[in-house]
Structure 1
């Protein structure tokens, strides 16, 4: 499946979900949570690509899940364990907080056998997202698969609670636009749920300041643009990460409906600059609060900036104070490759 097709699809369902957590980049993957500092990124494009993504966004969702209410937009993803004959089979269902563990799972086909053939999407056969139900902790991981079809990745989560695991993939011979399946993970320990961060236009991550411009409207495609700066200067040499200059994951507060979104452009397309702006076309599937996790790579490290936005009531509305939400809420764990 080509990037443009998937980008339009994901952009349409994008706002499907966003919810609280902050980011931190490392050799493993993006992470966020309220006990540490943040990190991680998205993709950008020219105006023509953005317009096309927006049109597609208005026509279709991501093919997963369902909408909310009369103003429902595209269908939400990650709400189901099984879809289109494929099932997420979590072998690891419980781990302890603050203890290294291995997360193991398989994707099974209609015949019950593990799937062993996938299409590579943005450099990976499968993208794995782990987020706490209160959206105070977030991880973007890239597990490895053995010949028998079992996936595994090391993980260490700093806070106890209920988590959701999302597998985003394109099985060979399966749905052309791919699937996002979700399952539950219990993390044992002293559970203290965090409150969703307030909407804000600015997030600070490891000395980088990321500014959000744009709003979400239920059922209508809108442009959401992020600008990356450091030490008061725009960053104009972002590095490609997963085939783009930025990577966006969105979770809806409440049910953690998921959407893995990509920017409207890619390195080398002749129109996409390596910063400071990274733009997306996004359509919220419903009114409500969303958490956006923008992953970006600079100086060889992936970092995550997180934002809370509101659809149908203002998205990090004008005049709001910028929040340094990422600053105190990441544990430094995070990206695995």
Structure 2
């Protein structure tokens, strides 16, 4: 029998429900498929490609045809045409309710915030192009599925066969969105076990190979959303992050979280203790540095949710004297 830790025991019976459950019938409790739409502005070179096809020398595309003068010889400034957009749909199978230990079966608000950020970076720059990325505590895999449009490889990780099976289904549902060269793998990553994994002889579907571990250690982008809700799991997460991030000095973690408030008898007030525990890692002694990203500067690309005021997005790095 598998030994259960204190977190598993405490979370086994408590039921929770995310506020993100699009179009779900009343009193529905089983797995449900929500379709999230997003709109990305097409870059100027894609506009040009749409106008010119494969012939950039086409007269209709020449600069001379665009620049015009009036009868007095003054330049006529061409007005920008209406922005063109690429519209995508991500189909995500998820639960409506779950025990706390299986919250990865649901879609949470912070996951959609992080999705917006990834889409924003993809629309403005090539920062995520051809990167190796790792999503930790991926749950439904939504963010990893989106970054697979431009990444070289994405490892979508979580813990527990039920969650990983659901995530793998979502990867299959949305494989048409992936870049042609992107490798997408769903893998088991239990933060309370050693990283890197000790046993590469396992034949499990979500097991690691030594080559994959080397690839993760060389990754430059880490992603995590809604993983801050238990102090014990937060400690376990940051232990794994330390080991992963010290392998590559340029690694950046983008972490989205929702501050959850509860009444504390110790404080006799409503406090977000999980959030405070997270902030305790942003100290020189623990090696993590970070900045909170201004969400007002990030457009909402995914339409089907409301952000609210209690969600934050952090960009973090890790610097230690010796790894």
TM-score, shorter chain, exceeding 0.5: no
Please identify which structure carries the higher helix content. 2
Q: Higher Cα Rg: structure 1 or 2?
A: 2
TM-score of the superposed pair, with normalisation by structure 1: 0.23
What is the TM-score of this pair, normalised by structure 2? 0.24
Greater strand fraction, Structure 1 or Structure 2: 1
